[in-house]
Amino acid sequence: MRILTSLFLFISSIAFSQGNIKSIELSDSGNILNNDYLRPLDLTFEKVTLIGLGESTHGTSEFTIIRGELFKYLVENHNYTVFFLEADFNACSRVNRYIHGADDDSKEALNEVRLWPWFTQELLNLIEWMRSYNQKNDNILKFVGCDMQLIVDDRLELKRLFSDNPKYSEFASQLPDLNFDTQDSMIIRSKQKEWLVFAHNFFKSFPEQETLMISSVSQWFEDAIHEGYKENFRDSCMAKNIADYLEKRPSVKGVYFAHNGHVGKIAHKYLNLNEQTKKAGHFLDERLKDNYYAIALEFNKGSFNAINYRNGEHVMESFSIKKNHRKSLSHIVLGKEDKIKYLTNIPNFQHLRINSIGSVYGKSKSGYKIYRYRKLELNHYDAFIVINLGTPTHLLTLK
């Protein structure tokens, strides 16, 4: 399938018995960056500080392309400069150096992000655009990871810091050994104590704008010993890292590139959990209030990449699924000829569904079937971009 290379927008209204759905329709003609059809959205883009750009699967090509095009528009027309990614801060540091002109291989730099949903040609193309834009515009764009799931990238980046910066050499001997692979809570707590002493001393001389390098390691340790609902903690860290970054830079605006389940202003309670489930978008909404704007991306049918577990072993697969259920968002808002739409006000239909497919689909590691849908609560998002047909991302490989 030919990927969306250009987009044309026009304002339209679609009448339903339950109410009116106002939308901007995007179809396959005209270039989104060379026309004025995004202008109806300028007021929204202008008044907010952070835009969450979600996706209903981690493996849909069009989602990355569309969000990339929107980011370019925001950069060129509304002074957005930071690209926050659902990946660890230290894992993204090499890409950030690359877009600032480092003599490096872009694919190898992106591989260090370590999460398969981002190791794609689609994101690599956006990274190359960011590097080119920076060369012409005083390196104003930043590529910032906001997550804290891994420790391996922290080890690597800290090692680089001390080997490449003589002014920090006095701390090299104090750096705790982070080269461990264990789930033993006693060992992890011991390592955490060593790390916290080191971090306290190191913070005194470390540039304030780079403190995420240190805090993300501290967050990893907290997560490793955290006894509550893990996803709450992880999402709270992503939101804190983004909000702290922006608060220290009041003039900066950015986008948050993650799954719908993270960018949404979601807070609800499952029957089998003792505490409320809160996602990063909810924490961001609490911190940034009207300065945060969440956009969910959804598709009707097509194919996507995801991990499947077969006999306990994970394999990457391309899944194909038929058109959405009649109570789904895409079924309600897309006409037969529609390719893609941007929507802001949708009547609150009962039992509305949305695709919610993460890194894994088919069977979980435990052998359970993973379901396609979740219930959609419209107040979790400020807008929706809905496409009819999705195709798999172009996954990269290293030679």
Q: What pLDDT score does 1 carry?
A: 42
* Any domain includes 180: no
* Any domain includes 2: no
Calpha distance 320→304 (Å, rounded)? 7
Its pTM stands at 0.91
CA dihedral 303, 306, 307, 308 (to 10 degrees): -40
Q: Are 96 and 144 in contact (CB under 8 A)?
A: yes
Burial of 368 (0-12, 13-18, 19+ CB in 10 A): exposed
Domain count, the chain: 1
Q: Are 370 and 325 in contact (CB under 8 A)?
A: no
Q: What pLDDT score does 22 carry?
A: 56
* Any domain includes 179: no
Calpha distance 296→383 (Å, rounded)? 7
Q: Are 120 and 395 in contact (CB under 8 A)?
A: yes
* Any domain includes 241: yes
Secondary-structure percent of the chain, ordered helix, strand, coil, rounded to 5: 40, 25, 35
Q: Hey, CA dihedral for 4, 258, 99, 247, is it positive or negative?
A: positive
Q: What pLDDT score does 105 carry?
A: 97
Q: What pLDDT score does 351 carry?
A: 86
Calpha distance 267→277 (Å, rounded)? 5
Domain with 89, as residue range(s), is 8-165+228-390
Taking Cα atoms as reference points, which of 49, 66, 124 lies closest to residue 397? 124
Q: What pLDDT score does 36 carry?
A: 57
Residues in the chain: 399
The 8-class DSSP code of residue 167 comes to G
* Any domain includes 191: no
Taking Cα atoms as reference points, which of 307, 252, 244 lies closest to residue 81? 252
Task: Provide the CA 185 distance to its chain's centre, in angstroms.
Answer: 30
* Any domain includes 75: yes
Q: What is the DSSP string of 347-366?
A: ---TT-EEE---SB-SB-TT
* Any domain includes 221: no
Q: What CATH number is associated with residue 267?
A: 3.40.50.11550
For the chain, which ranges sit under pLDDT 50?
1-19, 27-35, 209
* Angle formed by the axes of helices 212-225 and 185-203, nearest 10°: 160
Q: Which residues on neighbouring strands pair with residue 296, listed in sequence order?
A: 384
Q: What pLDDT score does 3 carry?
A: 40
Q: What pLDDT score does 190 carry?
A: 94
* Any domain includes 303: yes
Q: What pLDDT score does 212 carry?
A: 87
Q: What pLDDT score does 207 carry?
A: 61
The helix or strand, by DSSP H or E, that contains position 306, with its residue range, turns out to be: strand 292-310
Q: What pLDDT score does 5 carry?
A: 36
